[in-house]
Amino acid sequence: MRVGIDARFVTGLPRRGIGTYSLHLIRAMVSAYPDIEFFLFTRQPDLDGVLPRAPNAHVRQLTAPFYPLWEQVALPLAANRENVDILHCLGNTGPLITLGQARHVLTVHDVMFLQSGMFVPKPTTLYQKLGRWYRAMITPRCARNADAVITVSEFSKHDILALIPDVSPIRVAVTFEGCDPLFADTRAAMEAAAISPEKSCAVVPFIFCLGAGDPRKNTLRMVQAYLKLVRENGVAEDLVIAGYKNWENSLAYKEVLQAGVTNRVRFLPFVPVPELAILYRRATLFAYPSLYEGFGIPILEAFNAGCPVVASGVTSIPEVGGDAALYVDPESVDELAAAMLSVINDSSLRESMIAKGRARAGQFGWDRVANQTMDVYRRCLANN
């Protein structure tokens, strides 16, 4: 079997959700199936050298002036040139037409961009507006045309079938995700992080969360819940919010300024995996009050790092957290604050959550995802 994979999200930096999924899936599949030839199509060079270097992995960098042209023309032409049996696109969109013998497999992580509501971020630039329009136009057509659709949770499968008519449930497969093994290995994470500016977070106990200007991430309510804990309960924990770009102009930071606690709340930009693993490990708890997730890899990251998780009880999040997380209504500041306070004040609860989290994390892994994905490939070839 010859498999072509759209690996462009791996080489786009900084690497976020789809890029993380793409990287670990590719590594696991190349390792698990040495007799299968993998052609990894990228748009940018692999600057940090993360793609597998193996006899059965062949990196092909394709050039095109803009990404729709890369996806709709350069990618199918390259796949045909390499005579692939399967072309797997990993990031919600793919070519509307494949050439030659290639069967098309499409991973759709979620279809949030086909919906409306408070959890759907408003595009702030022309590039974002065009990207939203492109996904909304291409994804339904690709999903209908694809030989198989892979998604990452039962919640996302339900959304896909509800929002994209004429996609047969038989052609939609669910493969859960995993996370970087580094989150479970404290020593390796610390060695990889070397000298980190985040080490100062080790001195004071802190609540950790991931933030963004995207309303879906619910950062404003997270800050409001923390300020309530400081004001009404005098908690010793600081708040560390990672991954928030341009936080200085956010409503969340304005609330911190008004409360006069800028010395208690620390905003960090994008944090590399080794330093992120250390932050999880040192935090009193990890809060994940997101309003909408197709999966929620950070929950597994926290579980693997031995960090208790307070999370939203909505969308796909309970599928990932199982019985190991403490769930809240993400629209209730009071409920979020109360759940965090219970974890802070109850050491036995924390220990129980840590143990359950590690057990839950053991149910997810990239080897399993690779095997499930290969099963999808084989079914596509058998059915055709």
In terms of C-beta density within 10 A (0-12 exposed, 13-18 middle, 19 or more buried), how is residue 246 classed? exposed
* CA–CA separation, 102 and 79 (whole Å): 8
Structure tokens at 158: 């339900």
- Which residues lie below 8 Å from residue 335, measured CB to CB, with a gap of 6+? 328, 329
Residues of the chain with CATH 3.40.50.2000: 2-178+365-383, 181-361
Give the pLDDT score at 13.
81
Site of tokens 């300020």: 227
Among the listed ranges 83-87, 105-109, 203-207, 359-363, which one has the minimum average pLDDT value?
203-207
* CA–CA separation, 277 and 257 (whole Å): 28
Answer whether residue 170 shows pLDDT above 90.
yes
Q: Name the average pLDDT for the chain.
A: 92
Phi, psi of 16 (to 5 degrees): -115, -150
Indicate the length of the chain as a whole number.
Answer: 384
Among the listed ranges 11-20, 42-51, 323-332, 361-370, which one has the minimum average pLDDT value?
11-20
The Cβ-side half-sphere exposure at 114, using a 13 Å CA radius, reads 21
Provide the CATH topology of domain 181-361.
Rossmann fold (3.40.50)
Segment 319-340 shows an average pLDDT of 98
Give the pLDDT score at 384.
61
Segment 151-155 shows an average pLDDT of 97
Please give the model's pTM, rounded to 2 decimal places.
0.91
Give the pLDDT score at 3.
98
Answer whether residue 242 shows pLDDT above 80.
yes
Give the pLDDT score at 167.
94
295 touches 176 (CB < 8 A): yes
* CA–CA separation, 163 and 185 (whole Å): 40
Give the pLDDT score at 195.
41
**% pLDDT > 90, the chain:** 80
Give the pLDDT score at 204.
78
Q: How confident is the model at residue 352 (pLDDT cuts 50, 70, 90)?
A: very high
Give the pLDDT score at 189.
61
Answer whether residue 362 shows pLDDT above 80.
yes
Q: How confident is the model at residue 133 (pLDDT cuts 50, 70, 90)?
A: confident
Answer whether residue 341 shows pLDDT above 80.
yes
Answer whether residue 188 shows pLDDT above 70.
no
Segment 301-319 shows an average pLDDT of 97
pLDDT in tens, 102-129: 999 999 999 988 886 655 666 667 777 7
- More reliable by pLDDT, 173 or 203: 173
Give the pLDDT score at 118.
59
pLDDT in tens, 67-101: 899 999 999 999 999 999 999 999 999 999 999 99
Give the pLDDT score at 194.
61
CA–CA distances in Å: residue 29 to residues 35, 235, 343, 371: 11, 46, 38, 8
Answer whether residue 201 shows pLDDT above 60.
no
Q: Which CATH number fits domain 2-178+365-383: 3.40.50.2000, 3.90.1570.30, 2.60.120.260, 2.30.110.10?
A: 3.40.50.2000
Among the listed ranges 91-100, 178-187, 336-345, which one has the minimum average pLDDT value?
178-187
The Cβ-side half-sphere exposure at 329, using a 13 Å CA radius, reads 5
214 touches 246 (CB < 8 A): no
* CA–CA separation, 210 and 89 (whole Å): 27
Give the pLDDT score at 200.
46
* CA–CA separation, 84 and 1 (whole Å): 8
**CA torsion sign, 49 to 55 to 57 to 63?**
positive
171 touches 103 (CB < 8 A): no
Segment 344-356 shows an average pLDDT of 97
Contacts 24+ apart (CB under 8 A), 13-22: 13/47, 13/48, 14/270, 17/109, 17/297, 18/90, 18/91, 18/92, 18/109, 20/179, 20/180, 20/297, 21/90, 21/107, 21/109, 21/152, 21/177, 21/297, 22/90, 22/91
